[in-house]
Chains A and B, each alone.
Chain A
C-alpha cells in the first residue's frame, strides 16, 4: 500500500505541450505539497494545500496550476512546457500544515521536456 502515489512515474514530452501529474495520499492527511527537485538535487517547494485551500504559492510561473479536488488529491497541471521544466516533481503530504508534522513524500514523477 503506497501512502503517497504519483502518476505517471515518467513523463517525456515536447516543448509547448500541456501535461498533468496526479497525486493521491491514503494517509488521511489534510495537507499536501508539490516540490521540485532539479538536476543538482535541490528540493524546492512549489505549492501547498491545506484542506483544499492554497496556503503556499512560491514564485512559480503561472504555467503551473495546482488543483486539489479533495483532501486526498493534489494534481499539478503544466501549460506550455519548457526545457527548464525538466526535473523530478515530488508530491508530499502531512497531518496539519505546521512544521511539527513530518512530510511523507511520493516517489516522484520524472519529467523530461525535449
Chain B
C-alpha cells in the first residue's frame, strides 16, 4: 500500500462546476500538506500549502486537512478550462530534509 493514495481520474467537469480532489494517507506523522498543479509537459507548481489540520483559502481554491481521518481535499470553485491539469497532493514529515511524498495525481479536464 502506498503512503499516499490519490485517484488518478481522469475527472471531467463542465466549466463553472465545483471540483473536489482528494488524497488519503497512512502515516499519521505527516504534518505539512501541499497541492501542486502540473500542466502537460511542465513541472509541478505549488498551489496550496497547509500545516496540520484546518482549512486554507486562496481565491477559487480551498485546501482542507483532516488529520483524524488522514484525508486532505482541494476544492476549486467556478472551475475554468485553464484549470485543466494534473493535481498532485504532497505531504511531508516535520523534518529538515524537505522530502515530499506525492500522490499519483488526478487529471482534471474542465470543458467549456
- Residues on A lying within 8 angstroms of B by beta carbon are 4, 31, 33, 40-45, 48, 55-56, 90, 92, 94, 96-108
Q: Count B interface residues, CB 8 Å.
A: 28
Instruction: Looking at the assembled complex, report how far the CB atom of A46 sits from the nearest CB atom of chain B, in whole angstroms.
Output: 11
> Does A101 contact B98, Cβ atoms closer than 8 Å?
yes
**Cβ of B11 < 8 Å from any Cβ of A?**
no
> Does A45 contact B43, Cβ atoms closer than 8 Å?
no
**Cβ of B60 < 8 Å from any Cβ of A?**
no
- B88-109, CB under 8 A of A: which get 1 and which 0? 1010111111111010110000
Main secondary structure of the interface of B (DSSP, over half): loop
> Does B8 contact A31, Cβ atoms closer than 8 Å?
no
Assess A97 versus B98: contact at CB under 8 Å? Given A43-B88, A102-B49.
yes
Q: Which A residues are CB-close (under 8 A) to B31?
A: 99
> Does A107 contact B43, Cβ atoms closer than 8 Å?
yes
With beta carbons under 8 angstroms apart, the residue of A42, A96, A99, A100 that contacts B104 is: A42
Instruction: Looking at the assembled complex, report how far the CB atom of B67 sits from the nearest CB atom of chain A, in whole angstroms.
Output: 15
> Does B43 contact A4, Cβ atoms closer than 8 Å?
yes
- B8-46, CB under 8 A of A: which get 1 and which 0? 100000000000000000000001101000100111111
Q: Which A residues are CB-close (under 8 A) to B42?
A: 107-108
> Does A41 contact B104, Cβ atoms closer than 8 Å?
yes
Instruction: Looking at the assembled complex, report how far the CB atom of A52 sits from the nearest CB atom of chain B, in whole angstroms.
Output: 15
With beta carbons under 8 angstroms apart, the residue of B8, B34, B51, B105 that contacts A102 is: B34
Q: How far is the CA of A98 from the CA of B31 in the complex (A)?
A: 12
Q: Which A residues are CB-close (under 8 A) to B51?
A: 100
Q: Which B residues are CB-close (under 8 A) to A43?
A: 44, 88, 90, 100, 102, 105
> Does B46 contact A99, Cβ atoms closer than 8 Å?
no
Q: Which B residues are CB-close (under 8 A) to A90?
A: 43-44
